[in-house]
Amino acid sequence: MTNPNQREDAHGFETRLRLAQYVVFAIFIVLGIRFYALQVARHDEFQQRAENNRIREIPIPAPRGSILDRNLVPLVDNTPAFNVVLAPELIANRDQTIKVLVENLGIEYNQLMAELNVSRPKSQPILVKQNATVADRQWVAAHDYDYPEIGIEPQPQRLYPFGKLAAHVLGYIGEISPKQLEDPKYRGRGYQAGDIIGQGGIEAVYDRILRGVDGKRRVVVDSRGRTIRELDAVEPIRGQDIVTTLDVDVQQVAEEQFDSTNSTGAAIAMNPQNGEILAMVSRPAFDPNVFARNVISAGENRAEVRTIINDPQFPLYNKGTQGIYPAGSTWKLMISTAALEEGVITPASRIACGGGLQVGNRFMHCMGSHGSPEIHAAIVHSCDGFFYRLGLKMGVDMIHNWIVRFGMGQLTGVDLPHEKKCIIPSREWKRRNTPRDPEWKDFDTASAAVGQGSVAITPIALLRAESGIMMGGAYRTPHVLKEAKATQLERAKYFDDAPAELKLSRETVDVLTYGAWGVVNQGGTASGAGFPLELNIGGKTGTAQVIAKEKVRLKEHADHAWFISFAPLHTDQPPELAVVVLTENGGQGGRASAPKAKMINGAYFSKKLGRPVLPELIARGELFPARQDVSAPSIARPAVDADKRRDQ
């Protein structure tokens, strides 16, 4: 008879055996599922990982497109260079790698740590040093076995052969910042940490055109990450070359005018018939080669770049498109146009000068005593008294409405970054900006009529507005892109202009043309700016007050000097060159800025006539026939009926 204890032991053994069978069965199920996941479901993924352990893709940066002047002279190009790069996935000992990079390759520790801490794909090489020397390259080659993560890669370096020339137009390059990666301009458009992009000027505005398409090399590596052989390569596609509207000869002459006199300010030369900018100067300037040599981390840790960024004169600031200044008497061409078009005055109307105007408890001075001039004489001799009274006749609302129609209330649309808007006179502006004195007064209107008080403009906006008047009301968008050359992937591109038309009467345009001509050729405020009469240069000076005259002691407190010119001026054809010059703290426009504009005009027309563009010959007048003191028959003189003259 079976012992009950034996039966219980047998039952327990069977239970445990059955449980063990279930556990083993469950383990096999789990292992089966895992094997299926590894060998079937995720087969391709793990095969790719295994392949990546053996094959590496090395990016080949695409050369940026060149930037050329209108005659195909290279303004920005590329030169061969070698960089030290780091492959993060091959780093075995981070601290040791950092140590050898700092001690043996002279890489700044803070700069290196900043690069290593940037979030980026682990497979993306990190640029840690530009322009590796022969000694650097030899060291890397000699230590390839010990430090396979450190390599040398060829990469074109940006070159600006003319140094500071046109720096604000051309711009500079730098590594894309984390903030920029969040900008809609870059986010989702293929940019990633470590990319080198344009950071100013044409380099920034047309970055996507200039970038091209990177290539890549596929190489076989061993377990240490060392290259054994190359499998294949996809060559990079160079970015599109950009042909600009700039003329390097005119640009050089324009810059010499500031450098030779140690002046700061801005100058722009433009063809008003199509908006093409032939020259743009901003002083002080900078050398974009400094940024190209120190492109890592936008150069913030490099002394050369830091010096430029921290310069109290702000050399990176483009005063032609970003500088805001009182307009001074250059503003009078727009006020005259508005008054004539509105019928507030006629070409024959006379308004008293009076040496100035008493407004409330203030006397607003004129620089002379001009009797009761007509509009022509008031423009030629820049009579403030005339325009104070004319402004009061017009009123601020009429002035504001016309200034907006001239395009001064919005951006010009120039294809350069960070253009600033002008400040133009309006009741709303005063309420918003001077809450302690919000009411618009007659003094404000009189000041606005001569380009002071609430008026603050950019040189580019003034150039477009007043050259449009000389064009009879045809306004073109200022621009520096002439053509982006076609590549195997991209078609040629051109600037997309959206011209505007402002209907102006022929009589008004003739009055303004004749007045501008008289400023230069009839003993006006810029009598030294003219050339022989076949050029028929005309213009308008301006003196923009910085502080009250009695406080002027030092040069930095002197008034800003303006001059805007148009050439040639003829009744039957529009001008082909408009030039604006602003000399900061230069005093009178006729003395400080008109001579600069004369040289710029001389350079342009010398080249057009096939003569050498030599500043010393232009200055001596040897490139043009001798000037004759006769009237220019092609300038319209609006008829004045003596019986209809009346004081206004």
Three-state secondary structure readout of 461-477: HHHHHHHHHHCCCEECC
In this structure, the number of other CB atoms found within 10 A of the CB of residue 644 comes to 10
Does residue 184 have a cis peptide bond before it, meaning omega lies within 30 degrees of 0? no
403 membership: H or E segment, kind and range: helix 396-405
Average pLDDT over residues 118-127: 74
Residue 646: what pLDDT?
40
Contacts of 37 (CB under 8 A, 6+ apart): none
Residue 497: what pLDDT?
85
Q: Of residues 430 and 552, which shows the higher confidence score?
A: 430
Q: Cβ distance 483 to 614 under 8 Å?
A: no
The pTM for the full model equals: 0.84
Maximum CA pair distance of the chain?
154
User: Which amino acid does the sequence have at 428?
Assistant: E
Q: Where are the alpha helices (DSSP H) in 286-360?
A: 289-293, 303-309, 319-322, 332-342
- Distance, in Å, from the CA atom of 559 to the CA atom of 471, rounded to the nearest integer, reads 30
Q: Tell me the fold of 81-155.
A: Alpha-Beta Plaits (3.30.70)
Q: Cβ distance 64 to 199 under 8 Å?
A: no
Q: Cβ distance 390 to 374 under 8 Å?
A: no
Closest CA to 165 of 77, 257, 280: 280
- Distance, in Å, from the CA atom of 459 to the CA atom of 456, rounded to the nearest integer, reads 10
Residue 339: what pLDDT?
98
Task: State the pLDDT confidence band at 416, using cuts at 50, 70 and 90.
Answer: very high
Counting every residue written for the chain, the total comes to: 648
Question: Which regions of the chain carry the CATH code 3.40.710.10?
Answer: 249-304+318-641
**Over the stretch 502-519, which tens digit does the pLDDT of each residue have?**
999 999 999 999 999 999
356 membership: H or E segment, kind and range: strand 356-359
Burial class of residue 344, CB neighbours in 10 A (0-12, 13-18, 19+)? middle
Question: Which regions of the chain carry the CATH code 3.30.70.2110?
Answer: 81-155
Contacts of 254 (CB under 8 A, 6+ apart): 267, 269, 279, 281, 596, 599, 600, 603
User: Which amino acid does the sequence have at 302?
Assistant: R
- Distance, in Å, from the CA atom of 323 to the CA atom of 421, rounded to the nearest integer, reads 10
Residue 630, pLDDT above cutoff 50: no
Mean pLDDT rounded to a whole number for the chain: 86
- Distance, in Å, from the CA atom of 291 to the CA atom of 164, rounded to the nearest integer, reads 12
What is the CATH code of the structural domain delimited by 249-304+318-641? 3.40.710.10
Distances (CA, A) of 13 to 9, 21, 489: 6, 12, 78
Structure tokens at 71: 């005659």
Distances (CA, A) of 516 to 155, 391, 466: 53, 20, 11
Closest CA to 580 of 383, 403, 320, 322: 320
Q: What's the first-to-final CA gap in the chain, in angstroms?
A: 143
In this structure, the number of other CB atoms found within 10 A of the CB of residue 564 comes to 32
Average pLDDT over residues 569-593: 92
Helix (H, G, I), strand (E, B) or coil at 58: strand
Average pLDDT over residues 337-349: 97
Closest CA to 112 of 137, 134, 91, 139: 91
- Distance, in Å, from the CA atom of 15 to the CA atom of 36, rounded to the nearest integer, reads 31
Average pLDDT over residues 365-388: 95
Residue 641: what pLDDT?
47
DSSP 273-298: TTTEEEEEEEES---THHHHHT-GGG
**Which residues are paired to 410 by β-bridges?**
none
**Over the stretch 13-40, which tens digit does the pLDDT of each residue have?**
677 777 777 777 778 787 777 776 666 6
Residue 520: what pLDDT?
93
User: Which amino acid does the sequence have at 528?
Assistant: G
Average pLDDT over residues 270-287: 97
99-103, 177-181, 362-366: range with highest mean pLDDT: 362-366
Structure tokens at 605: 């027309």
> What is the phi/psi pair of residue 422, to 5°?
-80, 160
Distances (CA, A) of 411 to 156, 185, 449, 582: 36, 19, 22, 19
Distances (CA, A) of 303 to 175, 291, 364: 17, 11, 50
Q: Of residues 530 and 393, which shows the higher confidence score?
A: 393
> What is the dihedral angle through the alpha carbons of 281, 282, 283, 288, rounded to the nearest 10 degrees?
-90
Beta strands 242-244 and 67-68, pairing class: parallel
- Distance, in Å, from the CA atom of 508 to the CA atom of 501, rounded to the nearest integer, reads 15
Average pLDDT over residues 410-438: 95
Task: State the pLDDT confidence band at 400, using cuts at 50, 70 and 90.
Answer: very high
Give the neighbor-by-neighbor strand order of the sheet with 215-221.
55-60, 215-221, 227-234
- Distance, in Å, from the CA atom of 24 to the CA atom of 294, rounded to the nearest integer, reads 64
Q: Cβ distance 434 to 423 under 8 Å?
A: no
> What is the phi/psi pair of residue 159, to 5°?
-130, 130
Closest CA to 387 of 367, 416, 407: 367
**Over the stretch 59-89, which tens digit does the pLDDT of each residue have?**
788 899 999 999 999 999 998 888 888 888 7
Rg (C-alpha) for the chain, rounded Å, is: 35
Beta strands 157-159 and 126-129, pairing class: unpaired
Structure tokens at 616: 């010393």
- Distance, in Å, from the CA atom of 246 to the CA atom of 50, rounded to the nearest integer, reads 54
User: Which amino acid does the sequence have at 491?
Assistant: R
- Distance, in Å, from the CA atom of 289 to the CA atom of 300, rounded to the nearest integer, reads 15
In this structure, the number of other CB atoms found within 10 A of the CB of residue 155 comes to 21
